[in-house]
Amino acid sequence: MLIDEALLLTTELSTNGVQHAGTDIDLEIVATDSGVTVTVTDYGTGRAAVSPSPTGELLERGRGLLLVDHFAASWGTTHNAKSKVVWFRLVPPGLADPDESGHSAAGTGREVAETDGPREAGGPHADALAALARLDLPNSESSGLAPLANVLLRRLCATVGATGGTVRLDQADGRGMHTYAEFGLVFPDDQATLRAALAVSWPWRGELVLATPAAPAPYAAPLVEMTAERLGLSLENDRLRRTDLRRQSWLTFLAEASELLAQSLDVELTLALIPRLLVPRLGQWAAIYGLDEWNEPVYAAAAHTDEAALPTLLADLSQAGPDSAPSRLREAVRAGVPVPLPAPVEGFAVPLTARGIRLGVLAVGRHLDRRQDPEETTIVEGIAHRAGLALDNARIHAERRRVAQTLQQSLLPPVLPSLPGVGLGAEYVPTVGDADVGGDFYGVVNNDLTPKPGYCGLGAAIGTPC
């Protein structure tokens, strides 16, 4: 695939035409099975430089023709009194350029003033720059960028005559600055080095280091800076892509958790469900506490990735002391903000509130094998907010149900009447569940099986004469 090289060179030449000539440009692209030919025409009167200097062209500006020289199988310029043309041709790897005559005058209808002859693909810097162009892999995994960075280091070392190189990266995951890619020998203490910072955003940071000869080539430092910039941009693109995917996953998780919590109007069931939502995705363990009449946390439910460790966890969470887990749980309830939990539980507590009412506290233990992501803490707070609303809805539903049952009981007769010769029994069955028709059933039957004079036995209506 030649799309990366064609895009890079076309961009460079188009920019040169606009900036230096200050005119409109014409762009012509011809793609065949044997390669791609791109022609950029501007209408300035100056002459195009065709002998790029490695030292000058590797600086921040003015490296367009040097890149063309490194990537293109052949390239050249034509001009007349009214326009200038720069063209280049790319061919797939392993194929020779079938048009080794370049842009002829007969082919373009323009007078040929300067033409760089056909050249072999390659050159002292072509491998390193070709690998550099292929680093833009927005759809690749991070594990796929490290091998490519190793290949780039190897080619870069060969280009500048370095004995080795390393890419060091801090991904803000608690590991600090670590080796992401390396090639060549271990650096001696007196080894001359070239260093360039990777173009990554905070909190990430990194650098590219090359072990160079005592007198490196003049183009070595600019080439190291270009390589570090491109590698850093590729890492940054991959990080942003992963961040976007992770946030989409969290949004889906929050939506599913909200749906599950909304389906339950039972307080006990909701309390048992909440820790199960968090383990193991957001923590190694989770425990939820309600509040008594003194606003003291009261254990309700818990979950752990290792069920055998749950008794030990509950013992640690209940251990009293001036800076113990119970005191931190009370602090989270009073302050209304997340509070870290001390060792040995290693986690944090988030208060549960809804409609201005304090309902309890949610404790979550971090995974011991990795650093707690700040984004995960935000998700736990989101779950705590939803859990608080679910608990409050269940509490309101339970309260209304209790009031309704109390009202229904108050409408029933306190005792059954006493009738001579008649035994009475009653049963009250309230309407519950998803009944389509509302109302309650209250029936009275004669449970006295002894026949009485003048009255019929069981089966006849009460008080019916024989």
Alpha carbons 188 and 190: distance in angstroms, whole number: 5
- pLDDT attached to residue 197: 92
Are 3-108 and 126-242 the same fold in CATH?
no
Quick one: CATH architecture of 264-402?
2-Layer Sandwich (3.30)
Residue 18 DSSP label: I
Domain covering 126-242: architecture: 2-Layer Sandwich (3.30)
Sequence spans of domains, the chain? 3-108, 126-242, 264-402, 416-466
Report the percent of the chain where pLDDT is more than 70: 74
pLDDT tier, 188 (very low <50, low <70, confident <90, very high otherwise): low
For residue 64, what pLDDT band results from cuts at 50, 70 and 90? low
pLDDT, position 339: 93
Question: Residue range 6-19: average pLDDT?
Answer: 82
Q: Taking residues 125-151, report their average pLDDT.
A: 53
Q: Cβ of 264: how many Cβ atoms within 10 Å?
A: 18
What's the rounded mean pLDDT across residues 91-117? 46
Lowest mean per-residue pLDDT among 185-189, 266-270, 361-365 = 185-189
Q: Given this model, what pLDDT does residue 189 score?
A: 60
Give the separation between CA 297 and CA 318, rounded to whole angstroms. 10
Using DSSP's 3-state secondary structure scheme, residue 32 falls into strand
Task: Report whether 333 contacts 339 (CB < 8 A).
Answer: no
- 245 band by pLDDT with thresholds 50, 70 and 90: confident
The letter for the amino acid at 261 is L
User: Residues 289-299: pLDDT tens digits?
Assistant: 999 989 899 99
Using 50, 70 and 90 to split pLDDT, how confident is the model at 63? low
- Give the tens place of pLDDT for each residue, 360-373: 999 999 887 777 77
Interacting residues of 25 by C-beta distance below 8 A, sequence separation 6+: 14, 17, 18, 40, 41, 42
3-108 has which fold? Heat Shock Protein 90 (3.30.565)
- Omega before 203 within 30 of 0, i.e. cis: yes
Distances (CA, A) of 137 to 128, 233, 372, 435: 16, 10, 28, 59
